[in-house]
Amino acid sequence: GKSTLADRFLEITKTVDSRKMQPQYLDRMALERERGITIKMQPVRMSYALGPKSYILNLIDTPGHVDFSYEVSRSLAAVEGAILLVDATKGIQAQTIANLEMALKEKLVIIPAINKIDIAISEQIEQTKKELINLLEIKQQEIFLISAKTGEGIENLLRGAIERVPAPAFQSTADQPKAGAKALEDRLRALIFDSEYDFYKGVIAYVRVVDGEIEKGDKIYLMGSKTQAEAVEIGYFKPELVPASKLEAGEIGYIATGLKKIEKCRV
C-alpha cells in the first residue's frame, strides 16, 4: 500500500497533473509494475500549504519487502521522519520490525499509520492498534487510520507529518566564517544516497544537501572515491528530473556529474 499512499500524496499536493496520474506512479521499472511491488526507491519533491505557510516536502517511496532492505537503509539516511505503514488485514510483519529498527537507528521521527481500513473489519483494526501501541510505546491517538485506496485520512496523515517531523538541521553559508576559496569548497557537504547512469549527463548522484549550497558549474569532490567532478546539471525530482539553478542545505535533489563510471559515485 506504500506506492498507493504515495499516489494519494502526489494528488493532494498537485505534484502530478491529474491527466498524467496512474496507479503506482513512482514505480518506474517494468518489473515493479508487473509484480505490483516497489524494488527501487524513488524520491519526489512536493509542495503543500498548511494555514498561512507553504511547505516543501521530500518524499522517498521505498520498498517494503525484506529482500530490498538496502534500498530502505540508504533512503533513511537522507530524511528526518518515516511513515510506518501497517496493513490492517495483516498486522505487523517481520519486515515491519526490521525497517522500524533501521529507522530508529537513524533517530527518525516515526509516524504510525494503519492502512486498508476500508476493507479491514473492526477487530483487525483494533488488534493492529494494540500491536503498534506495544511496539512503539505510544498512545492510541498518535496512530493515523487511513485508506490509501479511497483517500480516507490521507490529508490528516500529511498534515501530521508536517507537524511532527522537524525541518532539516543545517548550518547555512551565512552562518559560517568568511574565508578563502578552499574554505568555500569545504562549506558544501552532501550525502549521496543513490545514483544512476545517463548516456548524456553521465553519472547522476541523488543527494541530500547537508550544509552549504551548490550551483550549476560548481566543482565537487567525491570523498568515497577521491574523485573531482563538475555539477553539469542540478535539480529536483518531480519525480522526473527538473533542472534548477541551485540546491540548498536541507534539500533533496540530483547532481549530474558528467562522470562515465558509476563506481566513482559511491553511495
Q: What is the separation, in whole angstroms, between the first and last Cα of the chain? A: 27
Question: Does any domain span residue 55?
Answer: yes
Same domain as 92, residue 8: yes
pTM: 0.84
Would the pLDDT of 137 be above 90?
A: yes
pLDDT of residue 61: 85
pLDDT of residue 66: 55
Question: Does any domain span residue 226?
Answer: yes
Q: List the CATH number of the domain containing 180.
A: 2.40.30.10
At which of 164, 196, 214 does a domain end?
164
What is the Cα–Cα distance from 81 to 26, expressed in whole angstroms? 19
At which of 164, 188, 214 does a domain end?
164
Question: Does any domain span residue 169?
Answer: no
Domain range spanning residue 198? Answer: 175-264
**Contact yes or no for 165/219 (Cβ under 8 A):** no
Same domain as 159, residue 40: yes
**What's the structural domain count of the chain?**
2
Task: Write the pLDDT tens digit of every residue in 182-213.
Answer: 444 457 899 999 898 999 999 999 999 999 99
What is the Cα–Cα distance from 61 to 27, expressed in whole angstroms? 9
Task: Write the pLDDT tens digit of every residue in 77-103.
Answer: 899 999 999 999 999 998 889 889 999
Task: Write the pLDDT tens digit of every residue in 3-41.
Answer: 889 889 999 999 987 777 676 666 554 444 444 554 467
What is the Cα–Cα distance from 257 to 220, expressed in whole angstroms? 9
Strand 81-87 to strand 109-115: parallel, antiparallel, or no bridges (unpaired)? parallel
Same domain as 246, residue 191: yes
Closest by CA to 252, choosing from 7, 46, 83, 22, is 46
Same domain as 159, residue 30: yes
Q: List the CATH number of the domain containing 155.
A: 3.40.50.300
Closest by CA to 189, choosing from 80, 264, 105, 78, is 78
